[in-house]
Structure 1
Amino acid sequence: MSALVIVGAGPRGTGLLERIAANAPELLSAERPLHIHLVDPHPPGGGRIWRHEQSPLLRMNSMAEDVTMFTDERSTVTGPVRPGPSLAEWAARPEAHPPYRPPADPALAEELRTLAPADFPTRRAQSAYLDWVFRRAVAELPPHVTVTVHRDTAHAVTGPADGPQSVRLTDRVLTADRVVLALGHLDSAPEPQHRANAAFAARHGRFHLPPAYSADADLSALRPGEHVLLRGMGLAAVDLVSLLTEGRGGRFEDAAGGLRYLPSGREPVIHLGSRRGVPYHSKTHYRLQGPPAPLPRHFGAVAVDALAARPGPLELRRDVWPLMAKEIGFGHYHELFHAHPERTALPWPEFLAAYDRLDWYGPEREALVAAAVPDPADRLDFEHLDRPLTGVRLPDGESLQRHLRAHVRADADRRADPAHSADLGAFLALLSLYGQLPRLLASGRLSARSVAEDLDGWWTGFFSHLASGPPGFRLRQLLALSEAGVVRFLGADTAVDRDESDGTFVAHSPTVPGRRVRATALIEARLPRHSADRTADPVLRELLRAGRIREEVLADAGHTHRSGLIEVAADGGLLDPALGGAPHPRRLALGPHTNARSYAAFARPRTDAPAFRQNDTAARALLRAFAVDTAPDVPSRKSPSALPSARSDDGNAFAHVSSGSGRADPT
């Protein structure tokens, strides 16, 4: 019997398992039995980030109908397409999708019972969905592929390139033919600037929180009424604000003109600032009003191949972004012209013919849009969307609060109004870009500086700001918190100094020149950045120390970029310096800690998600390798298919799963 160890049983490990189940009938005969060990201290399916045990206040930033773990008719995977329900479809009739297990939490059961397709679910609801996806994947494995889940932490991976691998857990060692590191989002030791802030806070008895996952952050030391600087205005900030307000007993109620916040008296005073100085744009809360745009049009495989064939290094902002922008614009204007033709002044075919032949940058395209789209509010303005406070200077803090409240209210109103569904058209085109960016990255043609500053820097931030914002109700809650004085805005390009004279953190922004805000607590409201040399993951740390993995370092004549990501081959194979930089034949890695740069383990339906393609490629590579292996002499425990019930090695029900009967054991 061959053995595979997958370290990480969250969405990425579960997605790989689903692809193994889909491809095994074709690639692995019954004469080649395989046992899979899944290693994760957290429950399989959700893993750490999507575990059930977190605050019910924490929500997804996607509608229930926009979340799937399954391939569909738009997928371009090599292996079989195995359709499955979205989160919304599963929640509507969970008993119709075996193996069904009713939630033990009554509140979660009620949420799933009433969940509408356009609702933004709690993360607990996603945890339940991922738990079911995991159990379905196990149930769909052929009888000769079995699974054991170890609720434990992997500490090290060792073994020769041509022999069995050893995976050391807390109190045992697993022996396997191949190992996959599906580690998900990881913690890292604080960066130097955060260490300096932590040392300052420790000297003066202040509070400091470096980048961290909101569900794991300990906020208990923050006192009622304490002034807190919260730097960052993305999803982490939204979560932290919720935990510090509703999480401390405050509540929102409907009032004339919107929501009103009723404080509990236990909240701190939260000062919000960031580079942009405004929250991420709200997610849209409607569907397309016209037919979907046929994507891609301007940034497809042919365009990427043509870019890669150009002589000399490419710069993303100079060479690639004009085509990306044109693709987003196509999605935007396709929806505007088809769904809201009364707000356009040219027939769509005439506009499209001119749009197709014009470059994104240039007076001709600007003139075309101005002539065809009379209202500037219907035109796509990336510069304003990206940095809405550029050039804004206000006389005092109260003027800033009024300005930001107006901005937030306008954004929430627009994203809730289907009259502006062109924004959704742009969003869908924006998502489609991720279908092609891996091809561009694989070409190796982007300069090191452009990968550092344009791709990992500007583009990642721009995409998150425009497309990965909170649900609209979160912005309306932010308005209510601002009006109640619990939240105060700081402005754009927020900087924080340390004043040793009184032990306070001091925030300032050019949006209000001369304004200084003092606080006794500083929170860095963002996720830890993946960093090979500062990773908290013991397996990566040991492999790096032993010289068996390497950080991606891009260098050319003008720049050196250390991305912090681990280098992998196209099929996920870990590049091994001890093998001359070749992929290790028995070790793979998938997920956001790798330079494959595909972050989302689940996706919007019918978007041909890159992560699904990566999972499929890795699964097929693994199964082909197992199919040609000689029968290994690997010690293994009794096949779980022979056990009377499926249990984990720590005794927890249904963590140790058998698929030998073609179904998941319901215990």
Structure 2
Amino acid sequence: MRPQLVIVGAGPRGTGLLERIAANAPELYADPGLDIHLVDPHPPGGGRIWRQAQSPLLWMNSHAKDVTMFTDETVTMDGPVREGPTLHEWAGLDGRVFADRRIQGRYLHWVYERARAELPPGVTVHHHPRRALRVGGPREGRQQVWLEGRPRPLLADVVVLALGHLDAEPEPLQAGLTAYAREHGLVHLPPDFTADSDLSRLKAGEAVLVRGFGLAFVDLMVLLTEGRGGRYEGDAYLPSGHEPVLYVGSRRGVPYHSKIGYDWTGARPAPPRFFGPAEVGELLARPGGFDFRRDVWPLVEKELGFAHYHRLFTAHPGRTATAWAGFEARYADAADPDEVRALVAAAVPDPADRLDLAALDRPLDGVRHGSHEEFQEGLRRYVEADLSRRHNPDHSADLGVFLALLSVYGQLVRLGDIGPWWHGFFSHLASGPPGPRLRQMLALSRAGLLRFVGADMTVTAEDGVFRAAGATVPGFAVEARALVEARLPEPTVGRARDPLLRELHAEGAAETLEGLLRVAPADGRILDGAGRPHPRRFALGPYTDARTPGAFTRPRTGGPAFRQNDATARAALKFLAQLALRTAA
């Protein structure tokens, strides 16, 4: 029987894996036959999140020129580089456009079709538009992948899970809020992919509490305003009359930082300088393990600071008091944060030119306003200042930090599950909304349809309503009959609604303290409780402890997801090639 490879998930991850199989098969798989089964109820390429059947109002949050599905010479991998067009090159778009998600879905489908066409003769792809329910089979034998509505399982010599973002059962707090809403005739929308939420339950003119100020909130804002017939004219929003009034807050109380609106010019530093493969290797080799805050974060902070000051000194030397060479040597030798702060204070006169990661992460810490209206004005000024800075190349040290963040993320992937804080910090600083979305927030705020609650937002369920308050305006609270949790569900294996993951969890697949599926860093093989890698099961994606910023990335930034796809593709092909040889003998 021909070897069989089953890939569960045909979105960007599954598509990227197929591209790497096509690239590596000529070297690693000489057998004339192989069946690849893609299992996904959604069309191959875009999958669920990037499906073409969604609102054209929803954008990507990256410029079209910053989106690619193809490897280049910056990706550290054993397989061959196969370059291809970025989204803007493929679609003929202006590179600085924020394309809508349907265009990205078409691009991803084209990448899928190209990868399929580049497979060697005799390798055939079969798409099964169904959900995978469970995987069974002995460690050393063929696996069985059971599909919804199919009486017999797919037989698989190798199974790769590339499931992407998944629905989850609510945690106890969320379940309690949903039950409270049901009991009192309220509306509670738990964490979800916003495009799939039932927003019709949010009525015109009513107050809606929104907890979460990231990208899920941006989607919610768009669908409840322009999506209900409102429109923008210049800096003003003209309501349709069908919008609710959104009261939004979060732990930080501010939206994610704007996307940077200019391009890099001149020479780049060559990251990593202080947090690279050698440092990661040393951390992994420590007998007692490592602590993120104590052992990892100081290295990350120094790497980000180096990128910031390298750019400031070399591109804007008039704003520094010393020469770069001397500063660089003393920065490299600085042994603790206090020494770095003293060095920076002496060399960089303007505090606005100094990198303060704590202030960037929590800009409202210690900030208090005397009234709700005063805070609305204050936060509008904050957003306007962020927009101005992030679109002004005079502050191009910010872009240096952004590029260093991508480098750091590529290294952190090797450390496994490091907890949720880093991912939130990275998203807040590097994965924020397009500038035009923040301008829309300002217009909605001025129109009275978007109200800011503040930092450390709390929500209570009492007296038959939901009540929200924040630390930024002492004494302020707002009541509403609707509450929206504007974020994706946490990618925890134990609460995943996906039956396949639940079965793996029940059978003993290892998970981290954060509830992520443990996989071998080298190739993505699923680990059991004893740390043994499964010879025939692999996993990639956000529910694993090797999660990356995304399944696609900016060109020439190393693409950790591409590196993972390549390693998994090569391991799977080598296993299948050896199996074919044994079968032939």
Q: Same fold (TM over 0.5)?
A: yes
Q: Indicate the residue corresponding to 1:498 in structure 2.
A: 461
Give the alignment partner of residue 167 of structure 1, picking from 145, 148, 152: 145
Give the superposition deviation at 1:525: 0.6
Bigger Cα displacement from structure 2, 261-270 vs 65-74: 65-74
Give the superposition deviation at 1:392: 0.9
Pair 1:520-2:481 in alignment: yes
Pair 1:321-2:297 in alignment: yes
Paired residue secondary structure (2:132): coil
> Are the equivalent residues in 2 in contact too, given 1:386–1:465 (CA < 8 A)?
yes
Give the superposition deviation at 1:581: 4.8
Paired residue secondary structure (2:200): coil
Paired residue secondary structure (1:585): strand
Q: Indicate the residue corresponding to 1:99 in structure 2.
A: none
What is the CA–CA distance in structure 1 between the aligned matches of 2:415 and 2:128, rounded to whole Å?
A: 38
Q: Which aligned pairs between 1:437-452 and structure 2 lie closer than 5 A? A: 437-441=412-416
Give the alignment partner of residue 165 of structure 2, picking from 172, 176, 185: 185
Closer, same or farther: CA 319–543 of 1 in aligned 2, 3 Å: closer
Q: Indicate the residue corresponding to 1:489 in structure 2.
A: 452
Q: TM-score, normalised by structure 1?
A: 0.84
> Are the equivalent residues in 2 in contact too, given 1:273–1:491 (CA < 8 A)?
yes
Paired residue secondary structure (1:272): strand
Q: Which aligned pairs between 1:445-464 and structure 2 lie closer than 5 A? A: 455-464=418-427
Give the alignment partner of residue 264 of structure 1, picking from 232, 240, 244: 240
> Are the equivalent residues in 1 in contact too, given 2:414–2:546 (CA < 8 A)?
no
Amino acid at match of 1:565: L
Amino acid at match of 2:193: Y
> Are the equivalent residues in 2 in contact too, given 1:5–1:38 (CA < 8 A)?
yes
What is the CA–CA distance in structure 2 between the aligned matches of 1:530 and 1:470, rounded to whole Å?
A: 22
Closer, same or farther: CA 309–7 of 1 in aligned 2, 3 Å: closer
Q: Which runs of 5+ in 2 are unaligned?
A: none
What is the CA–CA distance in structure 1 between the aligned matches of 2:67 and 2:175, rounded to whole Å?
A: 37
> Are the equivalent residues in 2 in contact too, given 1:32–1:627 (CA < 8 A)?
no
Alpha-carbon displacement from aligned partner over 1:111-162 (angstroms, at most 9, x marks no partner): xxxx211121111121111111111111111112111111111112222222
Pair 1:220-2:183 in alignment: no
Q: Which runs of 5+ in 1 are unaligned?
A: 93-114, 442-450, 553-561, 635-667
Paired residue secondary structure (2:382): helix
What is the CA–CA distance in structure 2 between the aligned matches of 1:550 and 1:380, rounded to whole Å?
A: 39
Pair 1:14-2:12 in alignment: no
What is the CA–CA distance in structure 1 between the aligned matches of 2:157 and 2:281, rounded to whole Å?
A: 37
Paired residue secondary structure (2:399): helix
Paired residue secondary structure (2:515): strand
Give the superposition deviation at 1:345: 2.2
Q: TM-score, normalised by structure 2?
A: 0.96
Alpha-carbon displacement from aligned partner over 1:460-497 (angstroms, at most 9, x marks no partner): 21111111110111111100000000000001000001
What is the CA–CA distance in structure 1 between the aligned matches of 2:91 and 2:328, rounded to whole Å?
A: 41
Q: Which aligned pairs between 1:303-322 and structure 2 lie closer than 5 A? A: 303-308=279-284, 312-322=288-298
Paired residue secondary structure (1:389): coil
Q: Indicate the residue corresponding to 2:51 in structure 1.
A: 51
Closer, same or farther: CA 305–585 of 1 in aligned 2, 3 Å: closer
Amino acid at match of 1:283: K
Pair 1:551-2:511 in alignment: yes
Amino acid at match of 1:509: G
Amino acid at match of 1:141: L
Aligned alpha-carbon RMSD (Å): 1.7
Bigger Cα displacement from structure 2, 536-545 vs 414-423: 536-545
What is the CA–CA distance in structure 2 between the aligned matches of 1:345 and 1:125, rounded to whole Å?
A: 48
> Are the equivalent residues in 2 in contact too, given 1:289–1:421 (CA < 8 A)?
no
Q: Indicate the residue corresponding to 1:131 in structure 2.
A: 109
> Are the equivalent residues in 1 in contact too, given 2:283–2:289 (CA < 8 A)?
no
Closer, same or farther: CA 54–359 of 1 in aligned 2, 3 Å: farther
> Are the equivalent residues in 2 in contact too, given 1:177–1:586 (CA < 8 A)?
yes
Closer, same or farther: CA 323–631 of 1 in aligned 2, 3 Å: closer
What is the CA–CA distance in structure 2 between the aligned matches of 1:64 and 1:341, rounded to whole Å?
A: 32
> Are the equivalent residues in 1 in contact too, given 2:259–2:431 (CA < 8 A)?
yes
Pair 1:572-2:521 in alignment: no
Identical aligned pairs, as a percentage? 61
Bigger Cα displacement from structure 2, 519-528 vs 320-329: 320-329
> Are the equivalent residues in 1 in contact too, given 2:540–2:547 (CA < 8 A)?
no
Q: Indicate the residue corresponding to 1:600 in structure 2.
A: 550
> Are the equivalent residues in 1 in contact too, given 2:160–2:537 (CA < 8 A)?
yes
What is the CA–CA distance in structure 1 between the aligned matches of 2:285 and 2:18, rounded to whole Å?
A: 37
What is the CA–CA distance in structure 2 between the aligned matches of 1:541 and 1:306, rounded to whole Å?
A: 34
Pair 1:534-2:535 in alignment: no
What is the CA–CA distance in structure 2 between the aligned matches of 1:341 and 1:387, rounded to whole Å?
A: 29
Alpha-carbon displacement from aligned partner over 1:65-98 (angstroms, at most 9, x marks no partner): 1111111011111111111111122222xxxxxx
Paired residue secondary structure (1:597): coil
Give the alignment partner of residue 410 of structure 1, picking from 376, 382, 385: 385
What is the CA–CA distance in structure 2 between the aligned matches of 1:584 and 1:425, rounded to whole Å?
A: 40
Q: Indicate the residue corresponding to 2:362 in structure 1.
A: 387
Pair 1:619-2:576 in alignment: no
Alpha-carbon displacement from aligned partner over 1:269-293 (angstroms, at most 9, x marks no partner): 1001000101011110111133222
Paired residue secondary structure (1:120): coil
Amino acid at match of 1:320: V
> Are the equivalent residues in 2 in contact too, given 1:277–1:389 (CA < 8 A)?
yes
> Are the equivalent residues in 2 in contact too, given 1:32–1:626 (CA < 8 A)?
no
> Are the equivalent residues in 1 in contact too, given 2:410–2:548 (CA < 8 A)?
no
Give the superposition deviation at 1:251: 0.7
Amino acid at match of 1:517: V
Bigger Cα displacement from structure 2, 580-589 vs 378-387: 580-589
